[in-house]
Structure 1
Amino acid sequence: MRKKSKNKNATKNEHIKQSVETVYFDVEMKKKPYSKISIYKPKIDGKVTLKKRWHVYFYWRDENTGKFKKKFQYQKGINRYKTLKEREAVAKSLKQAIESALQRGWNPVTKNIASSKKINRKSITLEKALAYAYKILEANKAEATLNGYNFHLNRFKDWAYKNGYLGLDVKDFDIDKFYEFWDFLRFDYVNQKTKKGLSGTSINNHKRSLSSLFTILQDERFIPLNFIKQVPKVDQEPVNNKAFTVKELDDIKKYILKNDPYLLHFLRFMIYPILRPIEICRLKVGDIDIENFFLSVKTKTELLSYRRLIHKIKPTLNEMQIDKYPANYHLFTAEGKPAEWNGAKLKSRVDHFSKRFRDIKNELGYGRYYSLYSVRHTAILNLYNSLVDKGMGEQEILFKLMPLTGHRSVSGIKNYLRKHKRSIPADHSDIYTLDI
């Protein structure tokens, strides 16, 4: 029987009013007002040139529409330098200076620093300290990455509020109190829809996100030590996103052709160019080069990755008739054809296709260990096994798969295969000397 942990904090922090029955807890994070800061390096014939003027630029968010609208660019003496190395170094320094000013509240529209009270590092609540750490974090992370941090932070803050810790001085929130949250994740949390607890992978991801924030608090001298690093990970082999067999994938294909044929185009982009769902949702018509038969897209490891469009994807491209649509249209949308889909966030677009696939795999009886990502795993393992059947050695296979999967190192693709591959050794009867 699971032992329920007692609430040791019923009398603590009496300044925090508890009303768990009726309280609405809003932990939504505000979007930062500026975009990524970038260095403009002009080119001539595809090469960076010193003959044209460089600058550092970013975009400012419109308060009414919430979209990035006004562009700001600064030179500040960059172009006085006559060598590529010097100019790049000065441009980088200017970029860092601008980023630091923006993080501290500088508003390029009003030319003023946003008015704010001086942070008291000697006494600050857990809630305010985490908000400060998140503000620093969001300046250096992509939107897709921040979604994960948001999710884990919100769950922690919700738990901390209900247990009377959110208003506690951050220095008084120690490792023993964090272990109460750790026990909550491991033993007490139950998903209201699935009626199941969290997987080991999910629990460890909570730790990773919170540890990043507490490291910032340590660096900023709010706390003496990030004690979350001392908490051992949950020792559990992840089983989500299992690969399908060839027959299972064929059964899924037949079902999709009858019930959601447009989704099959999406799956083919996971299988043949071996893209992730988020990468497919980034694709626009203009990213597909039909003449030279390749595509370009921002991936997990590269700002711009080029993938070969093999012949097996040609039927999909012909059926989608992408040459009829403007280059700025998203390739995959909720309309079942290329269209503008700028109104929805990237995560929402990915969730749309994930749900469509989830409905199908649930209908066919595949459980929680399978997801849209399983299709990509199936493709990579199929390539691996095909090369094994051709007699290739492991190292040769790894080097051949690296440019296809987008992994940037042999260790990366090797770890990926170790995580997802389930191999059965060959019959070893011939090496036995026992006969009983």
Structure 2
Amino acid sequence: MKKAYKIESAPKSAPIEIKIILGEKQYSEVKLFKATENKNGERVPSAKPGKRWYVYFYWRNPKTDRFDIKVTFTKGINRLKTVKHRKAAGNAIVKATELALSRGWIPDQVKNKIGDSDNYSKSKTIKEALQYAFEIKSREVKEATKDDYSVRLNFFFEWLKNNNLIGLSIEKVTIEHIYRYLDFLQLEYKQPSGKGLSNTSIDNYKRALSALFTVLQHKRIIPHNFVNDIPKTKSTPVKNKPFTVSQLSDIKEEIVKSDPYLINVLSLMIYPILRPREIVRLKVEDINTKDWILGVERKNHPLGYSRIIDKLKPVIKAMELEKYPGNYHLITKYDKPAIWETKKLSSKVTLLGKRFKKILVKLGYTDNYGLYSCRHTAILDLFNNLQKKGLNEQEIIIKLMPITGHKSQTGIRNYLREIQAFIPDDHSDIYSIDI
């Protein structure tokens, strides 16, 4: 039985009253009712005509606080002609019903009896409601996003606990509680290093909460996602600046001397225009060296394909992929294809990023540069070269879209503006000023 604690304040001169509210289960065990008949003096299950089987359980009546609302349904069990088939179907329905109930399903028979589905949602504490939302959201997002939500949600739970709010009913949570939490993140919380959170990090905490509150709104547990109404914290995030061609040449020279395996990583970022996360997902079986096609799970596509261009082929051939099973990861910490399992995909990206960062630090680069700089450099190089060939902006956008994997012209235009690809031509001829 889950427990929720509600502490009510009182004047200092009066005794302090502490009410402990126990959150009780709303439904009983789900069971299969098997009709029986008398056979040789014993009652045995029967599938004869008129023998009705059904799945049932009891729901707690909010008016009486007892399990006196009986819920039953057959789901076609009685169309089956044998006891064996009815048992198999009935047990499957029992399991499906238990799963649905654990995820917050409220049967129509219950709604009709109590007249309002809010009775169940109001029994949820903020922690229970957000855990329920997290379970649903986890089935919709990628592993990395799920892990991110989990970390940020547990951090929020810790704050609720420290502020005696962990047992607060979900319908009593207001926008003021969220503002208090965000104020804590911005003004009070310190990381182990002693530094506070950046505004971008604070917005990421809010974004995760908002996604879960949206689930609660869609499930009609709350009427409106007020977290989404809170404006973003103004921030100037550090961007990964693109390298110039000459800078990239110097970096390659240092990589060849210090960490040659990184050439594979950079080649996969630059030629197929992949992101670090997309690279570490790749497996040997994703590389088709007969048709020279690369299968990749992109950011905005469950599965996509890229051409392995001539510039990338020597790198792929040098990997000697024919020596490895198809389920091996292509890029690994072992500097060759292998099984590389981690709890979080992001830890793989972090490891490769640190190796590349050592090269950059040795060459004197600041924190404004990283692995992502390689992807920006590649797209900027393509843009500039297409411009030199005389293509106008619209023609360049259309040409780049299938290469970069952007789904819309607006998306790739915004991306190009972020990396400052749109540099105007020399406009000296329209000045009348001489200094």
The equivalent of 1:164 in structure 2 is 164
Following superposition, the deviation at residue 183 of structure 1 comes to: 2.1
In structure 1, C-alpha distance between the alignment counterparts of 2:327 and 2:299, rounded to whole Å:
22
Mapped pair 1:240 → 2:243: no
**What secondary structure is seen at the aligned counterpart in 2 of 1:307?**
strand
- In 1, are the aligned partners of 2:122 and 2:170 still within 8 Å (CA)? no
Mapped pair 1:258 → 2:257: yes
**What secondary structure is seen at the aligned counterpart in 2 of 1:120?**
helix
In structure 2, C-alpha distance between the alignment counterparts of 1:417 and 1:389, rounded to whole Å:
16
- In 1, are the aligned partners of 2:144 and 2:344 still within 8 Å (CA)? no
Following superposition, the deviation at residue 426 of structure 1 comes to: 3.2
Gaps of 5+ in 1: 1-8, 18-75, 77-97, 107-117
In structure 2, C-alpha distance between the alignment counterparts of 1:302 and 1:292, rounded to whole Å:
21
The equivalent of 2:174 in structure 1 is 174
The equivalent of 2:397 in structure 1 is 398
In structure 2, C-alpha distance between the alignment counterparts of 1:306 and 1:168, rounded to whole Å:
49
State the Cα deviation string for residues 149-175 of structure 1 (Å, max 9, x = none): 223223322333333322322233311
In structure 1, C-alpha distance between the alignment counterparts of 2:96 and 2:395, rounded to whole Å:
44
Taking structure 2 as the reference length, the TM-score comes to 0.69
State the Cα deviation string for residues 84-109 of structure 1 (Å, max 9, x = none): xxxxxxxxxxxxxx999855459xxx
Change in CA separation of 1:282 and 1:227 when aligned onto 2, cut-off 3 Å:
same
In structure 1, C-alpha distance between the alignment counterparts of 2:19 and 2:380, rounded to whole Å:
53
Mapped pair 1:325 → 2:314: no
Change in CA separation of 1:244 and 1:119 when aligned onto 2, cut-off 3 Å:
farther
Following superposition, the deviation at residue 394 of structure 1 comes to: 0.8
State the Cα deviation string for residues 38-66 of structure 1 (Å, max 9, x = none): xxxxxxxxxxxxxxxxxxxxxxxxxxxxx
The equivalent of 1:309 in structure 2 is 308
In structure 2, C-alpha distance between the alignment counterparts of 1:239 and 1:352, rounded to whole Å:
20
RMSD, matched Cα: 3.2
One-letter amino acid matched to 1:135: E
Following superposition, the deviation at residue 283 of structure 1 comes to: 1.3
In structure 1, C-alpha distance between the alignment counterparts of 2:398 and 2:272, rounded to whole Å:
17
Change in CA separation of 1:120 and 1:236 when aligned onto 2, cut-off 3 Å:
same
Change in CA separation of 1:347 and 1:10 when aligned onto 2, cut-off 3 Å:
farther
One-letter amino acid matched to 1:348: S
In structure 2, C-alpha distance between the alignment counterparts of 1:331 and 1:244, rounded to whole Å:
26
In structure 1, C-alpha distance between the alignment counterparts of 2:372 and 2:8, rounded to whole Å:
44
In structure 1, C-alpha distance between the alignment counterparts of 2:216 and 2:210, rounded to whole Å:
10
Change in CA separation of 1:251 and 1:435 when aligned onto 2, cut-off 3 Å:
closer
In structure 2, C-alpha distance between the alignment counterparts of 1:302 and 1:225, rounded to whole Å:
30
Following superposition, the deviation at residue 10 of structure 1 comes to: 12
Identity among equivalent positions (%) equals 48
The equivalent of 2:184 in structure 1 is 184
Following superposition, the deviation at residue 306 of structure 1 comes to: 0.9
In structure 1, C-alpha distance between the alignment counterparts of 2:359 and 2:119, rounded to whole Å:
51
State the Cα deviation string for residues 343-362 of structure 1 (Å, max 9, x = none): 65433333332232233334
**What secondary structure is seen at the aligned counterpart in 2 of 1:192?**
coil
One-letter amino acid matched to 1:298: E
In structure 2, C-alpha distance between the alignment counterparts of 1:250 and 1:340, rounded to whole Å:
32
Following superposition, the deviation at residue 219 of structure 1 comes to: 2.8
Aligned residue runs from structure 1 range 2-401, under 5 A? 102=99, 104-105=101-102, 120-193=120-193, 195-342=194-341, 345-401=344-400
Change in CA separation of 1:415 and 1:259 when aligned onto 2, cut-off 3 Å:
same
- In 2, are the aligned partners of 1:137 and 1:213 still within 8 Å (CA)? yes
Change in CA separation of 1:387 and 1:102 when aligned onto 2, cut-off 3 Å:
farther
One-letter amino acid matched to 2:393: E
State the Cα deviation string for residues 160-207 of structure 1 (Å, max 9, x = none): 3333322322233311221122223333444333x5443433332222
The equivalent of 1:27 in structure 2 is none
In structure 2, C-alpha distance between the alignment counterparts of 1:223 and 1:14, rounded to whole Å:
29
In structure 2, C-alpha distance between the alignment counterparts of 1:365 and 1:15, rounded to whole Å:
61
Taking structure 1 as the reference length, the TM-score comes to 0.69
State the Cα deviation string for residues 384-424 of structure 1 (Å, max 9, x = none): 12222222111111111111111121112112112222544
- In 2, are the aligned partners of 1:295 and 1:309 still within 8 Å (CA)? yes
Gaps of 5+ in 2: 1-6, 11-15, 21-74, 76-94, 104-117
- In 2, are the aligned partners of 1:175 and 1:228 still within 8 Å (CA)? yes
Change in CA separation of 1:190 and 1:384 when aligned onto 2, cut-off 3 Å:
farther
In structure 2, C-alpha distance between the alignment counterparts of 1:277 and 1:137, rounded to whole Å:
24
In structure 2, C-alpha distance between the alignment counterparts of 1:162 and 1:213, rounded to whole Å:
21
In structure 2, C-alpha distance between the alignment counterparts of 1:99 and 1:250, rounded to whole Å:
59
- In 2, are the aligned partners of 1:103 and 1:139 still within 8 Å (CA)? no
In structure 1, C-alpha distance between the alignment counterparts of 2:19 and 2:349, rounded to whole Å:
39
Change in CA separation of 1:123 and 1:341 when aligned onto 2, cut-off 3 Å:
same
The equivalent of 1:87 in structure 2 is none
Following superposition, the deviation at residue 254 of structure 1 comes to: 2.1
Mapped pair 1:410 → 2:409: yes
One-letter amino acid matched to 2:390: G
In structure 2, C-alpha distance between the alignment counterparts of 1:144 and 1:325, rounded to whole Å:
27
Following superposition, the deviation at residue 145 of structure 1 comes to: 2.2
